[in-house]
């Protein structure tokens, strides 16, 4: 029996959602209904019939890519070897096991549609792997997101066959040893198995799906922290007016305004603030709401990718068709990931500017500089702000679109490519950087109350502030804050999930 089973489960007959991808970081039971197994077997039989009939089928009877004009190897096992081995040339840092496992889950859902012609043992192997703490070791660089994520998915197949390296319980090991510890058997491939495993955009879809799941929380966190800042400083709330935001005409902006109003219920402005606040307070509904629109678009795109079939060719046993085309071309996800990256960078800009406002006594009504109880002797948020500045700079640099960087390759067989994999990885990177910025802002708000700002009047905000305070004692003397920022980032994710789940 595989080691490390878990009660978390998904069903291959259901729709795959970004939240399911996050479950895959731990052992995940994937239910394989009989009708799904039946359609996989039916398509496999059809592929064997077609390939034995003398009919040309890309990757089954032919070479790969521009070598399609040449015959492939006669035996299916040898053809599978070639498919994988010539792609084991990736490099760069290894993907986190959580990302790789999410990619396996995404690939499994595509193969389970019964259009790729894989053997049942492939589906069973991926299912068994997800039920353990095994994860293939996959280098980050190598995919152009066209003809699928060939190289990273080749590393997945390579490790499942007992070659290369893999993680077990987050320890990097030779793949054969990791399989043994997980209680898994080495995967045997023939026919179209190998090409079906690698010829899709499942790594791209997984990375984008994980980014979307975190971006949803980031949007709610931005609303929470903007409301908390408004209350702590005693700002007016006219900028959240229902009629004002309805007149703007953007539903997500109105929704953000409603969320901020809900957080602020029970709070009364101090009457001591300017008539019009800085944009980092006054324009938060417009900024966060616009980001929410981009998040929602990315969510819609990635759900289609996760529940569609990315492969070439596709097989339709019911009509006897083998259809060659480009369903491995990750352009939709590339565009969506780039748009999401830009939106996340702007949320980062907002958090950094809000932090800057809080540490500036000229704009807080007299709170001490850097929110230090003894300025000069202790520096409180000074290091946090410098780190935030560096983080925002990194986010801005990364916001250059990947989807327009097309370079011809593969003897001009792949003469246009979307670079969706790189776009998705960047979007996922942005979510991690934004978590750091939000944590720094939350610590600053907690410290602001300690050095003289008012305690939030809104009961829900006061409760959140208390939860932050439980994680981070007031800064009385300078001390390291890096681990505290990590704890607060986790707490903010928890609070945002609670809010999103209640909507």
Catalytic residue among 10, 25, 57, 58: 58
**Strand partners for 30:** 10
User: What helix, strand, coil percent values describe the chain, rounded to 5?
Assistant: 60, 5, 35
Burial, 308: exposed, middle or buried (Cβ in 10 Å; 0-12, 13-18, 19+)? middle
Order of strands across the sheet that contains 171-174 = 134-136, 165-168, 171-174
Burial string for 447-473 (b: 16+ CB within 10 Å, else e) reads: bbbbbebeebbbebbbebbebbeebbe
Are 237 and 245 spatial neighbours (Cβ–Cβ below 8 Å)?
no
- Residue recorded with tokens 């790729």: 116
The rounded Cα 170 to chain-centroid distance in angstroms is 19
Instruction: Give 133-145 as a 3 state SS string.
Output: CEEECCEEECCCC
The pair of structure tokens assigned to 396 is 């801005």
Three-class DSSP category at 78: helix
Distance CA 472, CA 200 (A): 45
Alpha helices in 120-170 (DSSP H): 120-130, 150-160
The pair of structure tokens assigned to 173 is 């090991």
Q: How far is CA 92 from CA 137, 138, 140, 141, 142, in A?
A: 11, 9, 6, 6, 9
Are 63 and 70 spatial neighbours (Cβ–Cβ below 8 Å)?
yes
Q: How far is CA 105 from CA 66, 214, 338, 369, in A?
A: 30, 18, 23, 49
Q: Is 155 a catalytic residue?
A: no
Closest CA to 9 of 29, 26, 25: 29
Strand positions, DSSP E, 20-117: 29-31, 91-94
Residues with catalytic function: 58
């Amino acid at each position: 029996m595989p080691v490390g089973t878990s009660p978390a489960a998904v069903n291959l007959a259901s729709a795959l959602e970004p939240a399911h991808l996050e479950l895959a970081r731990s052992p995940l039971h994937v239910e394989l209904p009989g009708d799904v197994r039946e359609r996989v077997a039916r398509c496999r039989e059809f592929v064997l019939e077609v390939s034995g009939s003398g009919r040309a089928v890309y990757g089954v009877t032919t070479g790969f890519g521009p070598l399609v004009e040449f015959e492939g190897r006669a035996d299916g096992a040898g053809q599978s070897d070639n498919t994988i081995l010539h792609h084991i040339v990736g490099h760069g840092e290894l993907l986190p096991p959580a990302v790789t496992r999410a990619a396996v889950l995404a690939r499994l859902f595509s193969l389970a549609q019964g259009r790729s012609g894989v053997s049942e043992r492939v589906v069973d192997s991926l299912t068994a792997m997800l039920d353990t703490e095994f994860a293939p070791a996959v280098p980050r660089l190598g995919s152009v997101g066209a003809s699928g994520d060939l190289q990273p998915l080749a590393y997945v197949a390579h490790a499942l066959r007992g070659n290369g390296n893999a993680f077990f319980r987050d320890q990097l090991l030779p793949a054969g040893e990791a399989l043994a510890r997980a209680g898994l058997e080495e995967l045997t491939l023939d026919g179209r198995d190998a090409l079906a495993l690698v010829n899709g955009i499942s790594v791209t879809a997984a990375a984008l799906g994980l980014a979307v799941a975190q971006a949803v929380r980031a949007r709610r966190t931005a609303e929470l922290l903007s409301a908390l800042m408004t209350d702590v400083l005693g700002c007016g709330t006219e900028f959240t007016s229902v009629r004002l935001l309805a007149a703007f005409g953007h539903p997500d902006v109105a929704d953000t305004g409603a969320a901020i109003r809900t957080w602020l219920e029970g709070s009364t402005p101090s009457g001591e603030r300017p008539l019009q606040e800085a944009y980092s307070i006054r324009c938060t509904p417009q900024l966060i709401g616009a980001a929410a629109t981009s998040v929602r678009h990315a969510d819609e795109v990635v759900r289609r990718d996760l529940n569609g079939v990315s492969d070439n060719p596709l097989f339709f046993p019911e009509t006897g068709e083998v259809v060659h085309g480009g369903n491995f071309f990750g352009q939709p996800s590339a565009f969506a990931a780039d748009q999401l990256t830009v939106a996340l960078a702007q949320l980062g800009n907002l958090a950094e500017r809000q932090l800057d406002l809080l540490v500036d006594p000229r704009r807080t009504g007299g709170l001490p500089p850097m929110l230090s109880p003894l300025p000069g002797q202790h520096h409180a948020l000074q290091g946090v702000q410098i780190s935030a500045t560096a983080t925002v700079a990194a986010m801005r640099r990364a916001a250059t679109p990947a989807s327009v960087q097309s370079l011809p390759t593969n003897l001009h067989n792949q003469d246009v490519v979307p670079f969706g994999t790189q776009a998705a990885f960047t979007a996922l990177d942005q979510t991690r950087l934004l978590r750091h910025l939000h944590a720094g802002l939350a610590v600053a708000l907690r410290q602001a109350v300690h050095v003289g700002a008012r305690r939030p009047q809104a009961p829900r905000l006061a409760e959140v502030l208390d939860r932050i305070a439980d994680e981070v004692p007031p800064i009385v003397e300078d001390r390291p804050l890096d681990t505290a920022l990590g704890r607060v980032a986790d707490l903010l994710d928890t609070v945002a999930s609670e809010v999103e789940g209640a909507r």
